[in-house]
Amino acid sequence: MAIKEKLFDEFPGVDTAKWEEIIHRDLKGADYDRKLVWKSLEGFNVQPYYREEHLKNLVYLNGMPGKFPFVRGNNIKNNWLIRQDITVDDVTIANKKARKLIDNGILSLGFVINRDLTTQEFELLLHKINPEEVYINFMSGNRNGWLANIYAQYIYKDSYNSKKIFGSDDFDPFGHMLKHGVSPCGHQDCHCAERFYKLVKEKLPNFRLISVNAKNIHNAGASIVQELGIGLAMGAEYLDKFTDDNIKIEEITPKMQFVFAVGSNYFMEIAKLRAARMLWAKIVDAYKPKDKNYCKTFIHVVTSTWNKTLYDPYVNMLRSTTEAMSAALGGADSITVNPFDSVYKDSDEFSERIARNIQIILKEEAHFDKVSDPAGGSYYIENLTNSIAEKAWELFINIQEKGGFLEAFKEGYIQDIIDETVQKRDMNIAMRKEVILGTNQYPNFAEKADKDLNTDRIFSESTKVGVIGKPLKLYRGAEVFEQLRLRTDRAEFTPKVFLLKAGNLAMRQARAQFAANFFGCAGFDIEDNLGYDKLENGVNDAFKYAANIVVLCSSDEEYELLAPEAYKLLDSNAILVIAGNPACKEKLEEIGIKYFIHVKTNLLESLTMFQKTLGI
């Protein structure tokens, strides 16, 4: 008989107290919370590690995929829909593109339509596309759901089986309010959703007529908790309006979908989608549906626009890839990956193919669709899910106590809490606490923006006053740095920065790299070198280079001697900048040295000041 032996029995277990003892010893007196605990933007602390004991109070852990409260997904399989969106200018061209996408395996199409279509144009748009085989989704800027109504007439006219028609309309009066400060119908009571629902519900029984566009909250710079908490409040307000209008809960929830954006905060975004399903199930369950399956929520995910950039745009591919991974692992029902160049131009065949292939690779090569809720049981992600759920529920309750989403929006409460987060994030970006790769950290020095760029498309407009409430400003976190660098790219001359390296080899190289990244974010030309034994030789080379700025790169201890010498040699022929924050700073300031750059410098303010000083 074979002897069954447990592996690793010879290694004794280590309890949490022992781990903590070792950690405190290794910290050598440093503050544990400051060094190891992450103070997240979402309003809760994230510990440096989690263990099995941290799962003890999580009551939903025994749930299974496809079972209430659906934390682990709506279905046993994790088979999301790969969706690609098409902007419709010419209906014939859009139809041709759509048919090609179907041939390439896409089973969910999104049509972005920003103008009225005639019946003939609508038929041309769907020419030779079988709506019984493809999910058709319409995005029409919330024009009272007119496209879904036309679509219903089209289905009836061509004798399609309406029960086999799946897809969605992005009709979302509350989302329209967030963007424009007014409902689509112009009324403060905003009952257009119920009217539209009653008009179309029988014609398209399996079509999702109402979308809750929480993505607008994300793309205004809000936190994950705010996107989820406010999004749930929007969804709950729809439920109240529908049920007050004598529509049964069992009729409503299958006709709704949530649209979330997903950003680069990888594990947090996975946890957000899991928490969203759990909290929505809790909200719907309060209406006592006859079956728990009516508590499911269909979640469509779109990759973030808030973190996408004009400069170093291929990094957008990496961002979109991790975002699509978060969406798939978090159990999204359908996913749209925006093309990497959509920030600054109309996407072409290459960028659209890359966006599509990200999801195809996740399915066909990485097999993300083969495992349900792969994050389930992870000590870290389960605790993130719980923390996000608790904070989002707290925000949801606060909004309900103010009378619900609509009243909280009119009052300005929703706008105020988002503005508070936006101010923090903008400051974090300016200080490089929040890194936007290629923009406020590690820029591509050789890159120059196309002078013909349409900045009206790239940069957001100022927030306008709304009729019902102040609309959110949808913007990108990188915008201020992009505007800064565009000023340099479009100036009559490009400022030259000379790195004057002297003294300690390790420190001068580290500080030269820091300074190059610092000024590279503004698009300044950087001149590097091997360093100098004599400052006089370095200053002479700086003059030959016609440097506007000379950055002295050395160690703190050596600045006391080197900085005054460099200042004297330059003799006001260039701006002297010290890379660092040395103890001798006050002494150096007394002799006229003004500029010091270091990790606590406000990068945006500093670079703006240097541009103004140099006449840009």
* Count of CA atoms in the C-beta half-sphere (13 A) of 47: 14
Of the candidates 296, 295, 299, 298, the residue with the CA atom closest to the CA atom of residue 284: 295
What pLDDT is stored for residue 188 in this prediction? 67
Per-residue pLDDT tens for 275-302? 999 999 999 999 999 999 999 999 999 9
Residue 517: DSSP 8-state: H
Can you give the pTM of this predicted structure?
0.95
Question: Lowest-confidence range among 6-20, 82-96, 477-491?
Answer: 6-20
The secondary structure of 332-364 as a DSSP string is: -SEEE---TTTTTS---HHHHHHHHHHHHHHHH
The whole-angstrom separation of Cα 71 and Cα 411 is 33
Stretch (H or E) spanning 546: none
Residues in the chain: 616
Cα 44 to the chain's mean position, in Å? 19
Contact yes or no for 366/78 (Cβ under 8 A): no
- Region 246-251: what's the mean pLDDT? 95
What pLDDT is stored for residue 197 in this prediction? 84
145 pLDDT above the threshold of 70: no
- Region 569-590: what's the mean pLDDT? 97
What pLDDT is stored for residue 195 in this prediction? 80
Question: What percentage of residues in the chain have a pLDDT greater than 90?
Answer: 85
SS (H, E, C) 65-119: CCCCCCCCCCCCCCCCEEEEEEECCCHHHHHHHHHHHHHCCCCEEEEECCCCCCH
Mean pLDDT of the chain: 94
pLDDT band at 324 (very low <50, low <70, confident <90, very high): very high
Judge if the upstream peptide bond of residue 69 is cis by omega within 30 degrees of 0: yes
144 pLDDT above the threshold of 70: no
Per-residue pLDDT tens for 37-84? 999 999 999 999 999 999 998 988 888 999 999 999 999 889 999 999
pLDDT band at 3 (very low <50, low <70, confident <90, very high): low
Q: Structural domains in the chain? A: 63-408 (3.20.20.240), 410-487 (no CATH), 492-613 (3.40.50.280)
What pLDDT is stored for residue 430 in this prediction? 98
The whole-angstrom separation of Cα 192 and Cα 397 is 25
Per-residue pLDDT tens for 99-131? 999 998 899 999 999 888 888 999 999 999 999
The whole-angstrom separation of Cα 68 and Cα 63 is 7
